[in-house]
A and B are shown apart, each in its own frame.
Chain A
């Protein structure tokens, strides 16, 4: 990675740029495959084999095993592709938001409602 100047930091935010897209390619490719029901079922039948088929690295494999969105982002995951992974477990965006921000789903939803009152 040879970015010439330091990247602009936006707190609490990972910008899915070229560096992240390179790092997360295998993980995102696996998540892309979850568009198809048969692939979702194959993953559920044998998670290890399915991850191996896509060549996930150790960090990615662990993040998948932990079902941990912040770890998946750190491993190069893209939000839109991770949403397809979340879909396997019936997780919606408030579940995912709550997990990432360390609050309950109800607290997360209340925060969204509050944003409309500001």
Chain B
């Protein structure tokens, strides 16, 4: 049977992809963020997951506003990255895992989560940057299943609903009849706001509370509405919903293995956390 090894959550700022392409990992501006990853890579080398379920939000590469699903899931044999408008080099394509994708689709829809299913899907920086942070050689050792949450167009799915989706994904994975070590990745956040006169808004106190809650009180963030989250974490800080889905997938005993928090990367409070699931 499949087993969830743990969850890694991290920010996915496009500029990180640019820094990777320019090899700025040791640059003083970037180092405090990149230094959060070696302990996580050591853990990955030990645990050796063979599949990653990646919970992220698309920013207008695969989905335009003509069709904006609240929750979507990939069921493709392969996922490709492409130019998002900035000309950053694209990363190698990712192998899918259609068997697990369809198991998740069947389980989630039976569990009343009416996912949009995608047999073709491009993946943007929110998917590729975390993968490149975890596996810098970009020879991806895992098959992948993308789970895409709308954090672009309001109303967003509620934090509570996101949590419940994560629980449902967790149960579905653990009922998958194939020996597999599954890693959950949640991407985005933490607090930041790109637009308006409040651009540059960061809320360190809220971010640290949220990170702590993932270990001590994982439903803490479910008290907030989408607009509460905008107020506390900024218009793009709402991406923490992806973290919440990823956290809720962990059905066992959860231990904090590593975390890192650094302000700023680009306009963002950049955070990384590794939770082990036993």
Chain A residues with a Cβ under 8 A of chain B:
8, 10-18, 21, 25, 28-29, 31-32, 34-37, 40, 69-70, 73, 78-85, 87-88, 92-94, 96-97, 100-101, 108-109, 111-113, 115-116, 118
Contacts and interface: CB of A to CB of B under 8 A. Distances in A.
B236 interface: yes
A73 B264 CA distance: 24
Contact of B227 (A11, A15, A34, A81): A15
Given A34-B85, A100-B197, 7 more contacts: A10-B227, A12-B196, A21-B153, A32-B60, A82-B195, A83-B59, A116-B202
A115 B152 contact: no
12 contacts: A11-B198, A29-B64, A29-B65, A35-B61, A35-B83, A35-B84, A80-B60, A81-B60, A83-B14, A115-B264, A116-B264, A118-B204
A73 B195 CA distance: 8
B267 A32 contact: no
Given A10-B230, A13-B193, A13-B196, A32 B64 contact: yes
Given A100-B195, A100-B199, A112-B202, A37 B267 contact: no
A29 to B, nearest CB: 7
Given A16-B154, A79-B235, A84-B60, A96 B264 contact: no
B266 to A, nearest CB: 5
Given A69-B195, A100-B196, A40 B85 contact: yes
B269 to A, nearest CB: 7
Contact of A94 (B64, B197, B231, B266): B266
B65 A21 contact: yes
Nearest to A19: B154
Contacts of A94: 266-267
A17 B68 CA distance: 12
Interface of B: 14-15, 59-61, 64-66, 82-87, 152-155, 193-202, 204-205, 227, 230-231, 235-236, 262-264, 266-267, 269
B153 A16 contact: yes
Contact of A92 (B197, B198, B266): B266
A94 B29 CA distance: 14
Nearest to A34: B85
A78 B153 CA distance: 9
B85 A79 contact: no
A16 B198 CA distance: 14
B35 to A, nearest CB: 15
Contact of A115 (B85, B153, B154, B263): B263
Contacts of A73: 195-196
A101 B193 CA distance: 12
Q: Which 8 A-B pairs have the closest CB atoms?
A: A116-B263, A12-B198, A84-B85, A12-B197, A115-B202, A112-B264, A79-B195, A97-B199
Contact of B194 (A31, A70, A88, A96): A96
A101 B200 contact: yes
Contacts of A10: 198, 227, 230-231
A61 B270 CA distance: 35
Of A37, A70, A116, the most chain B CB neighbours within 10 A belong to: A116
